[in-house]
Amino acid sequence: MRACCCASDVMDVTEPAEYATDGSGKRLVLWGTYDLTKPRTRILRESLRRQAGGLVEIHADLWQSTRDKSAATGTCALIRIGLRHLIAYPRLVWRYLRAPRHAAVVVGYMGHLDVLVLWPFARLRGVPIVWDMFLSLYDTVVLDRALVRPRSLAARLLWALERLALSAADLAVIDTETHARRIEALFRLPSGRLAAVPVGVEPGVFPPLSARVRDPNATLRILFYGQFIPLHGIDTILAAARLAENRPLQWQLIGTGQEAPRIQAELAARPISRLVWQEWVPYEQLIDRMRDADICLGIFGTSEKAASVIPNKVFQALSAGCPIITRDSPAMRELVAPGTPGIALIPPADPQALLEAIDKMTESGAVATATASPRYRRVQAAIQPDQIAAAWDAVIARVDARH
């Protein structure tokens, strides 16, 4: 992990020719320490690049070697992160003040400190700030993962920091309408203070897979990948695998994280013969694991956050055309109507319901055919880059009209 930001880390504000304004739109600036290891941020950048007015990027890459940002709570980690920001911000601000005229400045994830630093300088230039909050650190670290006690000083300071950042931004953006309303309530904001843009998908990494006919006598292969955190509900998958240990089901888990040591100890004490766990697969190779799987799994956690979000893995499975099972929630119903072929929504933390959904997909032939249905295809179309870019267009138009 690097402790500082060199000059080459910060992109020059010269507008690239391929993104130069064509006169029919308004220029935007994408500013800060936004995390390009996250698909959400890469999709945001590509969406803004589609704007007719052109995009200027002013960026310091501070997150390349830190996968799980919310787990960076140790003193040393926080000091390193703080030093990186202190070194990066003067150059970022200087370049922002030299940037060409623009209609709005967008701050990407993770931008809590970015928004606060940028605030006076954006006001000086008379430019509104759009912050892609994406998720709340307080909600994630304190309420969902329980890494910090809710009544502790650290939790109170984190809440206050996020509340101040939300006040500094002219408009904050999150991934679903359900999540937006939850964050407004959590930080005592008026309704409509946050906008929602779906996470979307990178179709170049997760292209549609070729349809295949499954041998009904073959072992059914079930895939989960992601961080081992409470929101994902790994225990539900393990419980289902135990219930079905004598059935021809092969479970593959890919990932690690907060709950990995506990799960490792549990599996060491009580192995599951038909379960394989691999800690890491490169992002670009996940599509190969999907190709080998019959069913992909989403999340099964019971928290309010789990009911409010749609994780990357769901969008990626849909883009690839994989049958998927995930927890039912208000957030999922924003995207998918119950009963859509190839997409099973089940109660959270219910291993028996998971097995029943697997059986229903297998018996109905959904594993082989349902993802070709018109209803599934409509869901796929709704998450493509053009649709996500249009959602960001609406956000920019909203803040521009308000400003």
DSSP states of 235-284: HHHHHHHHHTTTSSEEEEEE--STTHHHHHHHHHHS--TTEEEES---GG
Residue 215 falls within a domain, yes or no?
A: no
Give the CATH number of the domain where residue 124 resides. Answer: 3.40.50.2000
Give which of 326, 394, 314, 398 is closest to 47, Cα–Cα: 394
Model pTM score? 0.89
Residue 344 falls within a domain, yes or no?
A: yes
Do 226 and 322 have their domain in common?
yes
Do 263 and 127 have their domain in common?
no
Check whether 268 has a pLDDT greater than 60.
yes
Do 306 and 398 have their domain in common?
no
**What domain range is 105 assigned to?**
7-200+384-402
Please, which residues have CB within 8 angstroms of residue 398's CB and are 6 or more apart in sequence? 171, 195
Share of the chain above pLDDT 70, in %: 87
Do 100 and 186 have their domain in common?
yes
Check whether 374 has a pLDDT greater than 50.
yes
- CA separation for the pair 283, 279 (Å, rounded): 12
Predicted confidence at residue 83, as pLDDT, reads: 79
Number of DSSP helices (H) and strands (E) in the chain, helices first: 15, 12
Better pLDDT: 253 or 50: 253
Mapping DSSP to helix (H, G, I), strand (E, B) and coil, where does residue 174 land?
A: strand
94 sits in which H/E element: helix 75-98
HSE, side-chain direction, 13 A CA sphere, residue 249:
23
Do 391 and 344 have their domain in common?
no
90 sits in which H/E element: helix 75-98
Confidence category of residue 68, pLDDT binned at 50, 70, 90: very low
Please, which residues have CB within 8 angstroms of residue 79's CB and are 6 or more apart in sequence? none
Mean pLDDT, to the nearest integer, of 155-180? Answer: 97
Do 132 and 272 have their domain in common?
no
Share of the chain above pLDDT 90, in %: 78
Tokens of 298: 């989403």
Do 25 and 49 have their domain in common?
yes
Residue 355: φ, ψ to 5°? -65, -40
Predicted confidence at residue 218, as pLDDT, reads: 84
Confidence category of residue 77, pLDDT binned at 50, 70, 90: low
Angle at 138 (CA atoms; ends 135, 144), nearest 5 degrees: 80
Give the chain's mean pLDDT: 89
Cβ atoms within 10 Å, residue 375: 14
Number of domains into which the chain is organized: 2
Do 173 and 238 have their domain in common?
no
State the distance between the two ends of the chain, measured CA to CA, in whole angstroms.
Answer: 40
Residue 214 falls within a domain, yes or no?
A: no
Contact 19, 55 (CB under 8 A): yes
Tokens of 35: 């995390």
Question: 């880390």: which residue's tokens?
Answer: 9
Handedness of CA 97, 99, 103, 107 (dihedral sign): negative
Residue 212 falls within a domain, yes or no?
A: no
Residue 171 falls within a domain, yes or no?
A: yes
Do 189 and 225 have their domain in common?
no
Confidence category of residue 9, pLDDT binned at 50, 70, 90: very low
Residue 211 falls within a domain, yes or no?
A: no
Do 69 and 161 have their domain in common?
yes
Check whether 249 has a pLDDT greater than 70.
yes
Please state which of the ranges 60-69, 293-302, 381-390 shows the lowest mean pLDDT: 60-69
Check whether 10 has a pLDDT greater than 70.
no
Mean pLDDT, to the nearest integer, of 158-178? Answer: 97
Confidence category of residue 168, pLDDT binned at 50, 70, 90: very high
Mapping DSSP to helix (H, G, I), strand (E, B) and coil, where does residue 308 land?
A: coil
Residue 388 falls within a domain, yes or no?
A: yes
Residue 334 falls within a domain, yes or no?
A: yes
Do 250 and 162 have their domain in common?
no
Do 193 and 248 have their domain in common?
no
